[in-house]
Structure 1
Amino acid sequence: MLGAMASDFQRRKISGVFGAMDADGDGFLTESDFRALTARWLDVRGTDAGTPEGERLAAVMMGWWDTLDDAAGHRGRVSLDEVLQVADALPAMPDAVTRTAAAMFEAVDENGDGVISAEEYHRLVTAWSGAETPTDEVFARLDLDGDGRLSRDEFAGHWFEFWAGDDPAAPGSWVFGRV
């Protein structure tokens, strides 16, 4: 099984995100888990699902679900090992990772100003983790040029490092917070 190729570090960082996304705790990601994550993120933002912002966020998250479900065989539920199999294949598919990063950037950039602020990043991590999470130290690691915000290029590079990388020292390994 390809998932067995994942290093201990990859398994640890992806397991943390998987656990946060598995809203019902059944060991699988499903459409309802992605809907719950979307609702949690909207709640953290103080935004209603019926607003243009809410609809955009839901479209990004449900599009990500469709892509993941399709990559795992389109059975309506995805295990951690299947997510790790997908992650193992990502280094050979940088364009797919870049497209996902671009969609996620749009979701995180709440005010549409073309950068992710420390506050927007904080809401991302809090929504994904399901708990209030300090992010100042992590944001400083991700903000490579020290300008107080993440550009599209910075975010895309970090997103790729998280999903396709295996370097614990890479700033992108911290995209979803401390590993």
Structure 2
Amino acid sequence: MTITAQDELLDRKFDICFSHADQNRDGVVDASDILTFASRVISAVEEPFASPKSVAMLQVCDDWWRALVAGLDTNGDGRIDPEEYRVGMRRIVGSPEAFDAASRPVATAIWQLCDRDGDGDVTAEEFGKVQAAFGATPENARLAFQRLDLDGDGSLSVNELMIAFRDFYTSTDPETAGNWLFGADFQHGRGA
């Protein structure tokens, strides 16, 4: 199989996503990593853990984990290694329906947590808090926000963020705005 520039681009993105999920950095993703990820996002946005948004985030991440392990854990060990993740994600991004089913609930829960006042828009400050949970520096969060604010109105709609989320995970276009979802590190070959 010939590796194309588009394959390499997607692999870099998948590696970044894997690193976000592998919270304890042991080289595999398991249920505790996903719970830690959810808790980290909730803490970053300063949402009370008993709130409906937090409970929804925890439930969605539990559901997400169950779907990931069922679909990507090919050796049945209850963990997902980087190769299983890449192979499984290639299959998922190849189908818009599969991608939406796998990712939309998690992305929606994250952006609803990010939208602190529930007005449907995310400010630069709100966005920065979620980006911190993903390990982005304040500068990277600022750069990402500027690139993703396509209409220049100073806020990101939850819909704009969902489009960026989809573009980051699925687009093979190196110039898509969604590639800025996690800031400049991705642009400079870092971020995994």
Out of 96, 101, 122, which is 1:116 matched to? 122
Once the two structures are TM-superposed, the CA of residue 102 in structure 1 deviates from its matched residue by: 5.1
Q: Deviations over 1:41-100 (max 9, x none)?
A: 222122332222221221222222222212214642111122212221234321233342
Name the amino acid aligned to 2:42. L
Q: Deviations over 1:90-122 (max 9, x none)?
A: 343212333423541332223322233222221
Q: Does 1:165 align with 2:171?
A: yes
Q: 1: CA distance between counterparts of 2:32 and 2:52?
A: 21
Contact 1:105-1:155 at 8 Å conserved across structures: no
CA 1:116–1:59: 2 relative to 1, 3 Å: farther
Contact 2:60-2:105 at 8 Å conserved across structures: no
Q: Does 1:59 align with 2:59?
A: yes
Contact 1:97-1:159 at 8 Å conserved across structures: no
Once the two structures are TM-superposed, the CA of residue 124 in structure 1 deviates from its matched residue by: 1.7
TM-score, normalised with respect to structure 2: 0.78
CA 1:122–1:152: 2 relative to 1, 3 Å: same
Once the two structures are TM-superposed, the CA of residue 172 in structure 1 deviates from its matched residue by: 0.9
Name the amino acid aligned to 1:48. P
Match of 1:78, SS? Answer: coil
Q: 2: CA distance between counterparts of 1:172 and 1:141?
A: 8
Percent identity over the alignment is: 27
Q: 2: CA distance between counterparts of 1:123 and 1:44?
A: 6
Name the amino acid aligned to 1:52. P
Q: Which moved more, 1:40-49 or 1:137-146?
A: 40-49
Q: Deviations over 1:5-58 (max 9, x none)?
A: 872222223222322321221111111001111222222122332222221221
Unpaired runs of 5+ residues, structure 2, are 187-192
Instruction: State the superposition RMSD in angstroms.
Output: 2.4
Q: Does 1:146 align with 2:152?
A: yes
Between the two proteins, the alignment pairs up a number of residues equal to 176
Contact 1:162-1:173 at 8 Å conserved across structures: yes
Unpaired runs of 5+ residues, structure 1, are none
